[in-house]
Amino acid sequence: MPTLAKTGNEAMAEAMRQINPDVVAAYPITPATEVVMIFSQFVADGLVDTEYVAAESEHSAMSACVGAASAGCRVMTGTSSQGLQLMSEILPIVSALRQPIVLCEVNRALSGPINIHCDHSDTMAVRDFGWIQIFSENAQEAYDSVLQAVLIAEDEKVRLPAMVTTDGFIISHCMEKIETMEDDAAKKYIGEHKVKNSILNLEKPITLGSLDLQDYYFEHKMPVVEAMKQAKDVIVKVGKEFGQKFGREYGLLEEYKLADAEFAVVALGSTCGTTKAVVDELRNNGLKAGLLKVRVFRPFPGEEIAQALSKVKAAVILDRSDTYCNQGGQLYTEIRSAMYEAAKKPLLANYIYGLGGREISLEGIRQIYKQLQECQSSGQVIHFGVRE
């Protein structure tokens, strides 16, 4: 397996090259621009067979993706922040049409105020559109997850779109050592795109996107509900097989020194790497600290999280975004709801941190564990790291 130095964006573009999608339609936006820019260079150099569409906005880009997927193509794109927001009108149509489009999303704060740095508000804003959402801790995971996302999205039981996210600049622009597959191995792993339906197949004409009112709209939403349920097992299966083949196994969650932990942090994305370093340090000092990394946010692994946290005394849920609903961040509100039926539940606190790229340091995580040990009751929502 080749070992390479790659930024998160380069890693995602490399995965796209190996996937060799039929169509990529995109519009540039910082910090995701590089993903599609590097990929478009592959197109120009003849390294892939992809039809590249440089659209005049993200709305058009995602619309072109839908058109291509309707014709039976394997389709990918990439974006961030305002771009993802501008795709919003089309995103639920993609899941409703059951199109396995894979999107490389680089997490960036939403305007306003305008900001180009990392938080999760963009991805969270589209969490209820029937897309699978996978977060990455680093460039390696981004590369691996983009490849897996194709298999997950295209699985017969799922056939839903998927977005794989990295954290803007923290992962997207930082260079790390990653292991990639040989091209042949990747090609074999990804396999041929099985076309289920195509509007271009005159032998088997289909209707897409027709008007659907009180009569059948509701029924036509149910397959998405069902597919999202199925997606959980498929993600686990794909992650396990990936481990068997390439040595790096993935699941819905990753437990880090959690088995006997008394105090746990629950987080998404790159902050998990920072937290692991602090967990090691605290363990050396005798504190039973642990981390629960949530890799998959959609479908939401509620039962699995409740189970994983059942033995800890207290847990802090880290959200890099706010719901502005007075109940805490997205991860927290969903975990809290998932814990309702649990027989044993820890004290839960919510720390909203890092908005607009505000740095979260080792010292910050240390403080969070310290405050967690003093936690007496559930339900606190704290905006951590805000200046007075």
Partner 1 sequence: MALRDISKYLRLDKFPHIWCPGCGNGIVMQSVLRGIDKLGLDQNKVAVISGIGCSSRAAGYLDFNTLHTTHGRALTFATGIKMAKPELTVIVLTGDGDCSAIGGNHLIHAARRNIDLNVVVFNNSIYGMTGGQFSPTTPLNDIAATAPFGNLDPPFDLCELTKAAGATYIARSTTYHATQISNFVIKAIQNKGFSFLDIITQCPVYYGRMNKIKDAVDMLKEQRDNARNIKQWSILSDEEKQGKFVIGELHNQPRPEYTESYQSLIERHIEKRQPSPKSEERETKSREE
Q: Give the SS3 label for residue 310.
A: coil
Alpha carbon distance 36, 39 (integer Å): 5
Residues in the site for partner 1, rule: CB under 8 A? Answer: 27-30, 33, 37, 40-41, 44, 52, 54, 56-57, 82, 86, 111, 114
Q: Binds 111, which of partner 1, ligand TPP, none (CB < 5 to 8 A, cut-off by type)?
A: partner 1
- Which of 306, 298, 281, 309 has its CA nearest to residue 227? 298
Give me the least distance between CB of 54 and partner 1, in Å please: 4
- Which of 277, 30, 15 has its CA nearest to residue 141? 15
DSSP H or E run through 53 = strand 51-54
Give me the least distance between CB of 33 and partner 1, in Å please: 5
Residue with tokens 């799922």, as numbered in its chain: 158
Per the CB < 8 A criterion, the answer to whether 80 and 105 are in contact is: yes
Binder among 8, 21, 28, 354 for ligand TPP (CB under 6 A): 28
111/310 with CB nearer partner 1: 111
Give me the least distance between CB of 270 and partner 1, in Å please: 23
Q: Binds 54, which of partner 1, ligand TPP, none (CB < 5 to 8 A, cut-off by type)?
A: partner 1
Q: Binds 267, which of ligand TPP, partner 1, none (CB < 5 to 8 A, cut-off by type)?
A: none
Give me the least distance between CB of 56 and partner 1, in Å please: 4
- Beta-carbon contacts of residue 305 (< 8 Å; ≥ 6 apart): 253, 266, 292, 294, 335, 338, 339
Total chain residues near ligand TPP (CB under 6 A)? 7
52/246 with CB nearer partner 1: 52
Torsion of CA 274, 142, 11, 244, to 10 degrees: 110
> In one letter, which amino acid is 171?
I
97/116 with CB nearer partner 1: 116
Binder among 11, 13, 29, 308 for ligand TPP (CB under 6 A): 29
Q: Is residue 70 involved in binding ligand TPP (CB under 6 A)?
A: no
- From its phi and psi, is residue 286 left (phi > 0), alpha (psi between -120 and 50) or beta? left
Q: Give the SS3 label for residue 100.
A: coil
Binder among 10, 14, 34, 58 for ligand TPP (CB under 6 A): 58
Binder among 26, 76, 86, 315 for ligand TPP (CB under 6 A): 86
33/321 with CB nearer partner 1: 33
Alpha carbon distance 194, 223 (integer Å): 19
* Phi and psi, residue 263, nearest 5°: -125, 125
Give me the least distance between CB of 115 and ligand TPP, in Å please: 11
Residue with tokens 């009112």, as numbered in its chain: 213
Q: Give residues in contact with ligand TPP (CB under 6 A).
A: 27-29, 58, 82-83, 86
